[in-house]
C-alpha cells in the first residue's frame, strides 16, 4: 500500500537538480573556449527546426532577500543604455553565426525585473531580437513581471508587441512575510495588475507563489492561496524557497528563526496541493498547476510536455539561444553560460566575442541520458524500444544499476518498472525530480560539494 503524501514528501525531501538540462551547470567547465560554441553554431545552422530564445534583463530597483536570480540592483536608470547597446551586439553575433536558421517558436524574458525597462526600451529590446530572429506563427512569447514596479503603459505595450503569456511574481500576500523578504507587494497591486492583463486579452496569465518563506504560517499561506485563486490564473507555480545563505550572501539578512520548521514547510506544500486540486487545477510535474483547459494540462494528458532550461513548455525549439548576462544557451550538444557580471559581459560582446563564463560539450552518453531524463520528466514514461531506436542501446542492460535503484521506489507507489519500460505514476509526477536521479551519472560526485536546492 502506498504511503500517505506527507510520508512521501519526507522520503523524497533532499537536495537535487531541477534537470532543466543535463548535465547541470555544476559539471560544466570554466574557461570554456568560445570556438566550441562557434563550431556548434555551424552545425546548428544546418538544422531546419525552430529555435527557443531567452533574454535575461538583469535590472532591479531593489534586492528581495529571498531571491536567487542574477540581478543588478540599480535605483538609477542610467546603466540601461549601455546594456541595450551590448545586447544588440550580442544578438547580432548570434545571428551572424546562424545565417540560414532564424525562426523562433519560443521567446521568454526573465530577470531581474524585465519591466524595469520603460516602454521605449521594451520596444527596442523586442525589435532588436525579433528583427534578427523572427517569431513563427503560434510562438509562445512570455515575460516575468513584478507588480510592485509596473507602470500603466507597460502591459498594453507588451500585448501590442505580441506577448501572449505573462507570469506575475506574488510569492506571498501576507504583509509580515512581504516585509521579511523586503518586497512590499500589496494585494491591491496584484489585483490591479492581473485585472489589467485580463482586460488586455493576454491568453495566458501565470501566478508564482513560494512556500517556506520567513514568517509563513498555515493561516497566512491559506489566505494567500485563496486570494490568488480568486484571480483565476491559467497556471500557478508553487516553488519551494531555496535558502542558500552560503552561496547567496543577501539571504543572510533573513533571521533564520523566522523560517518555517521542516515539518511546517511540508505542511505548507500539502496545503497548496490540496487547495489547488480542490479548485480543479491539474498538477504539472513537480511544482506547476494548470487549469484543465490550459494548453499545458492538455500537453500532460497527451504526453507532449517539454522540459528545457526555461522549465516546462508546450512548444520549444530544438536549440536555445540565451542573451544577456548569466543567460544559458544549448546549441547542437554544447552548453554555454554567459558571464554573470554585467561589466564583464558588456566588455566581451562589445569586443565582438561570445561572453562565455562556463560551458560543456555533451558526449554520446550525456545526450542519451539527457533524452531519457527529459522523456521521463515530460511524458512520465520511458519505453526501452524508443531508447533502442534512437541510440541503439539495450536499456535494461545499460542502465541495470539505475533500474535497481528505481525498483526500490516501487513500494512508495511513485514508479513502475515493467519489461517494456519505466512508468511514473500520477502520484510520482510530483516527485519526478527525485525519480530520475538514478540516471544522473554525475550526481553522486557532486552531492557533497554542490548546494542544490531541496526537491520538496
Q: For residue 37, what is the domain's CATH number?
A: 3.80.30.20
| One domain, residues 204 and 301 | yes
Question: Are 130 and 7 in a shared domain?
Answer: no
Residue 1 covered by a domain: yes
Q: DSSP letter string over 141-176?
A: EEEEE-GGG--TTHHHHHHHHT--EEEEEEE---HH
- Do 34 and 179 lie in one domain? The reply is yes
Alpha helices in 279-427 (DSSP H): 295-302, 342-350, 364-379, 384-391, 395-398, 400-407
Does residue 208 lie in a domain region?
Answer: yes
* Domain-located, residue 329: no
Q: In terms of C-beta distances under 8 Å and separation of at least 24 residues, what long-range contacts does 123-128 make, across chains too?
A: 123/157, 123/161, 124/84, 125/55, 125/57, 125/84, 125/87, 126/161, 126/162, 128/84, 128/87, 128/88, 128/91
In which domain, by residue range, is 209 found? 24-319
pLDDT at res. 1: 44
Is residue 7 domain-resident?
Answer: yes
**CATH number of the domain to which 431 belongs:** 1.10.10.920
How many folded domains does the chain comprise? 2
Instruction: Tell the residue number behind the cell numbers 561570445, with chain if given.
Output: 354
Residues 232, 288, single domain; the answer is yes
pTM of the model: 0.92
Same domain (yes/no): 2, 69: no
Query: Alpha-carbon distance 315 to 135, whole Å?
Result: 13
Residue 367 has a pLDDT of 96
How many angstroms separate the CA atoms of 203 and 159, rounded? 10
pLDDT at position 313 is 86
- In tens digits, the chain (456 residues) has pLDDT values of 456 767 877 788 777 788 889 999 999 999 899 999 999 999 999 999 999 999 999 999 888 998 888 899 998 999 999 999 999 999 999 999 999 999 999 999 999 999 999 999 999 999 999 999 999 999 999 999 999 989 999 999 999 999 999 999 999 999 999 999 998 889 999 999 999 999 999 999 999 999 999 999 999 999 999 999 999 999 999 988 988 888 888 888 899 999 998 888 888 988 998 999 999 999 887 788 999 999 999 988 888 888 888 888 888 899 999 999 999 999 999 999 999 999 999 999 999 999 999 999 999 999 999 999 999 988 889 999 999 999 999 999 999 999 999 999 999 999 999 999 999 998 888 788 899 999 999 998 887 666 676 666
The answer on 32 and 174 residing in a single domain is: yes
In the prediction, which pLDDT does 448 show?
Answer: 67
Domain membership flag for residue 202: yes
Q: Do 217 and 115 reside in the same domain of the chain?
A: yes
Asked if 268 and 308 sit in the same domain, the reply is yes
Kindly state whether residues 7 and 53 are assigned to the same domain: no
> Of 319, 347, 373, which one is at a domain's C-terminal end?
319
Same domain, 83 and 166: yes
Name the percent of the chain lying above pLDDT 70. 97
The answer as to whether 107 is a domain residue is yes
Contact yes or no for 72/117 (Cβ under 8 A)? no
Residue 343 falls inside a structural domain: no
pLDDT of residue 400: 97
Tell whether 8 and 51 lie within a shared domain. Answer: no
pLDDT score recorded for residue 55? 98
Instruction: Choose the final residue of a domain: 260, 289, 319.
Output: 319
* Same domain flag for 414 and 274: no
**70 within some domain:** yes
* Angle value at C-alpha 353, between 350 and 359, nearest 5 degrees: 130
pLDDT of res. 3: 67
Amino acid at each position: 500500500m502506498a504511503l500517505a503524501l506527507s510520508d512521501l514528501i519526507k522520503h523524497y525531501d533532499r537536495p537535487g537538480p531541477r534537470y532543466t538540462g543535463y548535465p547541470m551547470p555544476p559539471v560544466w567547465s570554466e574557461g570554456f573556449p568560445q570556438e566550441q560554441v562557434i563550431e556548434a553554431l555551424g552545425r546548428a545552422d544546418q538544422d531546419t527546426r525552430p529555435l527557443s530564445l531567452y533574454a535575461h534583463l538583469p535590472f532591479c530597483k531593489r534586492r528581495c532577500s529571498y531571491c536567487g536570480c542574477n540581478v543588478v540592483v540599480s535605483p538609477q536608470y542610467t546603466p540601461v543604455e549601455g546594456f541595450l547597446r551590448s545586447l544588440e551586439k550580442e544578438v547580432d553575433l548570434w545571428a551572424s553565426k546562424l545565417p540560414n536558421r532564424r525562426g523562433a517558436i519560443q521567446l521568454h524574458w526573465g530577470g531581474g525585473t524585465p519591466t524595469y525597462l520603460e516602454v521605449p526600451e521594451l520596444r527596442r529590446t523586442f525589435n532588436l531580437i525579433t528583427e534578427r530572429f523572427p517569431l513563427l506563427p503560434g510562438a509562445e512569447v512570455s515575460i516575468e513581471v513584478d507588480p510592485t514596479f509596473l507602470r500603466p503603459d507597460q502591459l498594453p505595450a507588451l500585448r501590442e508587441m505580441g506577448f501572449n503569456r505573462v507570469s506575475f511574481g506574488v510569492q506571498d500576500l501576507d504583509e509580515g512575510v512581504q516585509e521579511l523578504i523586503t518586497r512590499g507587494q500589496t494585494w491591491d497591486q496584484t489585483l490591479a495588475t492581473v485585472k489589467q492583463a485580463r482586460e488586455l486579452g493576454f491568453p495566458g496569465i501565470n501566478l508564482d507563489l513560494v512556500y517556506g518563506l520567513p514568517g509563513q504560517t498555515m493561516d497566512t499561506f491559506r489566505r494567500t492561496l485563496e486570494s490568488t485563486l480568486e484571480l483565476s490564473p491559467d497556471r500557478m507555480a508553487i516553488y519551494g524557497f531555496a535558502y542558500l545563505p552560503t552561496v547567496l550572501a543577501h539571504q543572510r539578512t533573513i533571521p533564520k528563526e523566522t523560517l518555517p520548521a521542516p515539518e511546517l514547510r511540508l505542511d505548507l506544500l500539502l496545503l497548496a496541493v490540496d487547495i489547488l486540486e480542490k479548485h480543479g487545477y491539474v498538477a504539472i510535474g513537480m511544482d506547476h498547476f494548470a487549469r484543465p483547459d490550459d494548453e499545458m494540462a492538455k500537453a500532460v494528458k497527451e504526453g507532449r510536455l517539454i522540459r528545457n532550461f526555461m522549465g516546462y513548455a508546450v512548444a520549444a525549439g530544438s536549440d536555445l539561444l540565451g542573451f544577456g548576462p548569466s543567460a544559458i544557451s544549448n546549441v547542437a550538444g554544447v552548453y554555454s553560460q554567459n558571464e554573470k557580471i554585467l561589466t564583464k559581459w558588456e566588455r566581451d560582446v562589445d569586443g565582438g566575442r561570445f561572453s562565455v563564463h562556463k560551458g560543456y560539450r555533451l558526449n554520446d552518453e550525456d545526450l542519451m541520458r539527457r533524452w531519457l531524463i527529459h522523456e521521463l520528466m515530460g511524458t512520465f514514461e520511458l519505453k526501452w524500444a524508443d531508447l533502442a531506436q534512437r541510440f541503439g542501446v539495450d536499456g535494461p542492460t545499460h542502465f541495470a544499476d539505475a533500474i535497481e535503484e528505481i525498483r526500490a521506489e516501487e513500494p512508495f507507489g511513485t514508479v513502475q518498472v515493467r519489461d517494456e519500460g519505466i512508468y511514473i505514476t500520477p502520484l510520482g509526477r510530483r516527485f519526478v525530480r527525485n525519480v530520475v536521479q538514478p540516471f544522473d551519472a554525475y550526481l553522486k560526485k557532486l552531492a557533497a560539494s554542490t548546494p542544490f536546492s531541496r526537491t520538496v
